[in-house]
Structure 1
Amino acid sequence: MSATIQILSGLGDKGPAAIVVEAQGKRLLLDAGGALHPGEPVTWAQGLAVDAVLISHDHVDHIGGVVELPAQIPLYCTPLVAKTLPPQRAWQPLPYRGRLDVEGIAVTTGQAGHSLGGVWLHLDDAGGIFYSGDACFESRLFPFDAPPPAHTALLDASYGRYDQPQAQCIHAIGKALDHPLVLPVPETGRALEMALWLSEEADQRHLPLAIDPIIRDNLAALLALPNDLRRKGLDAAIQALLQRPNARHPALWLVSDRDDDPPDWPHHRLLHTGYLTPQRRQQLAAGEVLWQRWNVHLRASHLVALAHQLQAVQVAPLFTPLHADAESAWRDLLGTRLITQPSLDVEAQTKVLSSPLLTP
């Protein structure tokens, strides 16, 4: 069997996720990403015709473009991800870990290690097509499930060739905790594991701590899932955190990211731990905010390890720049498996359907 893959958005730079796989006469859209920056248009959806949509997780660059699609297109996602769909949007359940048939194509899902309710997707066609969505091996809270083999791997490369272990990131953040801080975070992603870590640090350092109610609610939602959908040995810590009252005058404040700016928090400094918008990059350069990554995506060595584990013949690093120097570095890491084309015909011998997205 053969399949056609069209990476509509997400190859060659950090951008919304949108990939069409055509197999057995059906077209499945993997993720429907919205704009990363306010006011940017979502162009990948224009004139698009698909038979079904599968959503990996609920972050805006993977689900925010659902509003651009006709409401009658069947949409599949996990029940927790469905909570962030547009009101009244019909959906059908993806298992958190399991297998189902979508338009005659067997789809396997597993935990992606990135966010509450998030999954990777494996399509059992053309030797296997694996899409990681956003994924991470290092979460202390979210497990990563080993996927089946796949001929083609579409992998989260948001961090490019960065390869610093999580322990070093946490150590660096820890050194900043002696000053009043606000940490804005995606409320279903790193927020949950950072809440556990911050509560431990606050106790050890005798620092008052506050955590946004929505983050607490999401921790409670995680605790309500079957226990094999979170790392072992953390239930007691989660329960203790849920019972812990917020400090009236917190030195540390973990908040849902609402595009916070320094004037919003005159008595604290903002410490960002993930993707920086252009405005936040300017604030960082001016010394107005702090930044230290908390790993929630695949590091370079982990991406290569996953490609090996999948026994992938071809690998597309997604959500990362692929200019000439970067492409050369990825070729050193992945060899002849590297994909830099947005359209591929996947069969026994892969043939490129269009000219390369980027000039070597």
Structure 2
Amino acid sequence: MTWANNLDVDAVLISHDHIDHIGGVAELAEDVPLYCTPLVAKALPPNRAWHPLPERGSLAVEGIIVTTGQAGHSLGGVWLHLAVGGGIFYSGDACFESRLFPFDTPPPARIALLDASYGSYDQPQAYCVQAISERLDQPLAFPVPETGRALEMALWLAEEADRRQLTLAIDPVIRDNLAALLALPATLRRPVLDHSIRLLLARQNACPPTLQLMCDRNDTPAQWPNHHLLHTGYLTPDRRAQLAAGEISWQRWNVHLRASHLVALADQLGVTQVVPLFTRFSDNELNAWQGLLGDRLCTAQRFSTHSRLVTFPV
């Protein structure tokens, strides 16, 4: 038995291609309609049928108007707004702070399911970048998701390498994704960066490099004997053990909504209920969210609308 057995859904809308959001597609029945943007579709299982979502726009899905916009998190990623029961907004993974990916203002909604991956954490991106910059005095390797922070970190590392006269190598897959971003309409990326992207794409990889940005392939310290691994996102249990043993380092690079941004988005939407997603509620975290969201905080898993029952995992 899997989570997809006897699943009674009309369609599946996919926000972006990171494995924790798209990995379960292989378990879905072939007759379940999938909707995603063309860039996200590249990560689907081979020959899996899909329907296109616009990177920014609206369409009807099973009689419901679905509006999408840029979520500020990854290549091809979108937020989703369903015109049901006063509006339901789903952020997927989202961020206000990306230097590459814009975040589009969504329509008003009554219910918002928002990316709360960071809990009540609220450190600005500038702090994170400064903390990483202070570690660039040693050979470092950065394993990163290939369609997410990899792209903006590539630009930043190129700037830092030039400023400090360090050598740099960037994974070819990351380069390909930067080229794919450059090929999109200019409004789907932050302005004034096209020249920097072109310069990076023309840049030759150093061999050997002082700084190495590569797609995360479950890299271990033993695979990088000449570099120290610095992780910037989620750590698996094995990597948490490596961090505790001093074998790797970690410093967050913000790619999710931090607490004040989640509250600002809820205010902007005008919601009456907010479901914080992708987080565990310890007593301290629950108290923090109650303080931030007040009566709008909701941890229920089911919402009844005027037209149908809508079920969401928390």
Q: What interval of TM-score do these two structures reach, taking the shorter chain for normalisation? A: over 0.9
Show the 5 A alignment for 1:1-360.
Answer: 43-346=2-305
For residues 70 and 323 of structure 1, what CA distance do their matches in structure 2 show?
A: 35
Instruction: Give the secondary-structure state (helix, strand or coil) at the position aligned to 1:315.
Output: strand
For residues 150 and 43 of structure 1, what CA distance do their matches in structure 2 show?
A: 32
> Deviation digits for residues 275-295 of structure 1, max 9, x if unmatched?
011111111011000000000
Residue 347 of structure 1 deviates from its aligned partner by 5.1
Aligned CA distance change for structure 1 residues 296 and 352 (closer, same or farther; 3 Å): closer
Contact 1:181 1:268 in 2 (8 A): yes
Letter in 2 for 1:207: L
Residue 43 of structure 1 deviates from its aligned partner by 4.5
Instruction: Give the secondary-structure state (helix, strand or coil) at the position aligned to 1:163.
Output: coil
Residue 47 of structure 1 deviates from its aligned partner by 2.2
TM-score, normalising length from structure 1?
A: 0.84
Residue 46 of structure 1 deviates from its aligned partner by 3.0
For residues 222 and 148 of structure 2, what CA distance do their matches in structure 1 show?
A: 25
For residues 260 and 53 of structure 2, what CA distance do their matches in structure 1 show?
A: 29
For residues 46 and 261 of structure 1, what CA distance do their matches in structure 2 show?
A: 35
For residues 50 and 340 of structure 1, what CA distance do their matches in structure 2 show?
A: 22
Contact 1:108 1:122 in 2 (8 A): yes
Instruction: Give the secondary-structure state (helix, strand or coil) at the position aligned to 1:110.
Output: strand
Instruction: Give the secondary-structure state (helix, strand or coil) at the position aligned to 2:24.
Output: helix
Instruction: Give the secondary-structure state (helix, strand or coil) at the position aligned to 2:266.
Output: helix
For residues 263 and 300 of structure 1, what CA distance do their matches in structure 2 show?
A: 36
Residue 321 of structure 1 deviates from its aligned partner by 1.0
Contact 2:84 2:305 in 1 (8 A): no
For residues 216 and 203 of structure 1, what CA distance do their matches in structure 2 show?
A: 18
- Between the two proteins, what is the percent identity of the paired residues? 70
Residue 343 of structure 1 deviates from its aligned partner by 1.5
Contact 1:341 1:352 in 2 (8 A): no
> Deviation digits for residues 70-122 of structure 1, max 9, x if unmatched?
01111110000000000000011100000000010000000000000000000
Letter in 2 for 1:297: H
Query: Tell me, which stretches of 5 or more residues in structure 1 are unaligned?
Result: 1-41
The worse-fitting range, judged by mean Cα deviation, of 235-244 and 48-57 is 48-57
| Structure 1 vs Structure 2 CA RMSD | 1.6
Instruction: Give the secondary-structure state (helix, strand or coil) at the position aligned to 1:178.
Output: coil
Contact 2:35 2:52 in 1 (8 A): yes
Count of residue correspondences: 311
Residue 186 of structure 1 deviates from its aligned partner by 0.1
Query: Tell me, which stretches of 5 or more residues in structure 2 are unaligned?
Result: none
Residue 346 of structure 1 deviates from its aligned partner by 3.5
Letter in 1 for 2:170: I
Residue 352 of structure 1 deviates from its aligned partner by 12
> Deviation digits for residues 4-29 of structure 1, max 9, x if unmatched?
xxxxxxxxxxxxxxxxxxxxxxxxxx
For residues 100 and 221 of structure 1, what CA distance do their matches in structure 2 show?
A: 24
Residue 327 of structure 1 deviates from its aligned partner by 1.3
Instruction: Give the secondary-structure state (helix, strand or coil) at the position aligned to 2:147.
Output: coil
Letter in 2 for 1:315: V
The worse-fitting range, judged by mean Cα deviation, of 67-76 and 156-165 is 67-76
Contact 1:223 1:235 in 2 (8 A): yes
Instruction: Give the secondary-structure state (helix, strand or coil) at the position aligned to 1:183.
Output: strand
